[in-house]
Amino acid sequence: MSGGVDSSVAARLLTEKDYDLSAVFMRNWDTRDESGTETGCEWEKDWEDVQRVCTLLDIPCKMVDLSRQYWTRVFEPALDEWAEGLTPNPDVSCNREIKFGALMDRALTTPNQWLATGHYAQLRWDTLDPTHARPMLYRSADRHKDQTYYLSSVPESQLHKALFPIGHLTKPEVRELATRYSLPTASRSESMGICFVGEKGHFNQFLSQYIPPKPGRIVDTNGKDLGAHRGLWMYTIGQGARIPGLTTKMFVARKDAAANELVVAPSDHPSLFCTSVFVSSWHWIWDDHPPSSVDSPTGLRASVQIRHRMSEVPCTIFRRKGGVFEIRFEQPEQGVAPGQIAVVWDGEWCLGSGKIVDTTCLE
């Protein structure tokens, strides 16, 4: 339980089932660890809300401190990628390494235990082999809140032990149930922060505490000098680049880490439109049974998202040498950056994901 309304309603729904319930709250970040003062104890409010809900539901709860695991498995690797000019998605690795990794390992001590969360996702089961039912990760009923993107790298073995009690509900329905059940978190506002950080209003300012400035030049696609930047990690491909003195609005087209240059272009420039991406560290949820068509000349027809906040787009996927996959978009896409996670679906069924290592654009 996180202290939010989603996990609170998930817990309440499970009280209606024949389960022996207990709750666990995961502490993963505390600014007091950095500052050494009593300011910044955001997790304490969450923990208080978890205890209030559990008291109402009459289920035991405990707190597990996984901040060290967060630091080493999620935060430090993400820092390294930001420093290299990449655009990582820590929430994907957070779910794989922490929530359904370290936390699941810590919480589940016997075979007949499951970890239920408030994620907006659904599990269906393939029963072609009656002796070995396999979990299939499906989108939630609420497409706007769907979180299968973030769960796309969780292994099948971990999904086998997961429950998503609110996956069949929409967010308004969850809110309505929370009010009906008089849960203390019914009116709590929604957290939109990054998994390991929480809600930090000025993210670049936050990262600057860990990544030193590395000034470089801002250039156009012809190499013309337009200004200076303070660090490639402060920019995302596709975002507007504020350059004093320019009358034409420019956007980040790419980052040249070797030269420490930020390359910008006007909004209609071909360098902003990508036709395909190359993806490594690929994870099929059914790792032993990838779709055979990825090795065919025509490839695997599927849909893909390269960001959580986007609609899926049609694509074709090909397996290349060295464990790399090529994903070709049906139409050119903007805002595509190395480091992002590309997640693929067959209809509503999430097949897996990988990390973008290179892009092919119109120029």
> What does the domain layout of the chain look like in residue ranges?
5-180, 213-268, 273-361
* 201 pLDDT more than 90: no
Please tell me the class of the 213-268 domain.
mainly beta
Same fold across 213-268 and 273-361: no
Fill in the amino acid letter for 104.
M
Say which residue the tokens 């505390």 belong to. 30
Q: Which residues contact 38 (CB under 8 A, 6 or more apart)?
A: 32
CATH annotation of 273-361: 2.40.30.10
- Span between the terminal Cα atoms of the chain, in Å: 47
| Per-residue 3-state assignment (H helix, E strand, C coil) for the chain | CCCCHHHHHHHHHHCCCCCCCCEEEEECCCCHHHHCCCCCCHHHHHHHHHHHHHHHHCCCEEEEECHHHHHHHHHHHHHHHHHCCCCCCHHHHHHHHHHHHHHHHHHCCCCCCCEECCCCCEEEEECCCCCCCEEEEECCCCCCCCCHHHHCCCCHHHHCCEECCCCCCCHHHHHHHHHHCCCCCCCCCCCCCECCCECCCCHHHHHCCCCCCCCEEEEECCCCEEEEECCHHHCCCCCEECCCCCCCCEEEEEEECCCCEEEEEECCCHHHCEEEEEEEEEEECCCCCCCHHHHCCCCEEEEEECCCCCCCEEEEEEECHHHCEEEEEEEEECCCCCCCEEEEEECCEEEEEEEEEEEEECC
Tell me which of 195, 274, 315, 361 is the catalytic residue. Answer: 195
306-316 mean pLDDT: 95
* Cβ 327 vs Cβ 342: under 8 Å: yes
pLDDT of residue 281: 95
* Cβ 77 vs Cβ 327: under 8 Å: no
Q: Which two tokens stand for residue 57?
A: 């539901």
* Cβ 153 vs Cβ 352: under 8 Å: yes
* 40 pLDDT more than 80: no
Tell me which of 41, 54, 61, 94 is the catalytic residue. Answer: 94
Q: How far apart are CA 280 and CA 278, in angstroms?
A: 7
* 37 pLDDT more than 60: no
- Region of poorest pLDDT, from 42-51, 132-141, 188-197: 188-197
36-48 mean pLDDT: 69
Q: Which residues contact 159 (CB under 8 A, 6 or more apart)?
A: 100, 123, 135, 137, 151, 285
Is residue 274 annotated as a catalytic residue, yes or no?
Answer: no
Q: State the average pLDDT for the chain.
A: 92
Is residue 195 annotated as a catalytic residue, yes or no?
Answer: yes
Bridge partners, residue 220, by sequence: 264
Of the pLDDT bands very low, low, confident and very high (cuts 50, 70, 90), residue 35 is very low
φ/ψ of residue 116, rounded to 5? -100, 140
* Cβ 145 vs Cβ 170: under 8 Å: yes
Count Cβ atoms below 10 Å from residue 61 Cβ, excluding itself. 18
Of the pLDDT bands very low, low, confident and very high (cuts 50, 70, 90), residue 38 is very low
**Which CATH superfamily is 5-180 part of?**
HUPs (3.40.50.620)
277-281 mean pLDDT: 97
| pTM of the model as a whole | 0.92
* 198 pLDDT more than 70: no
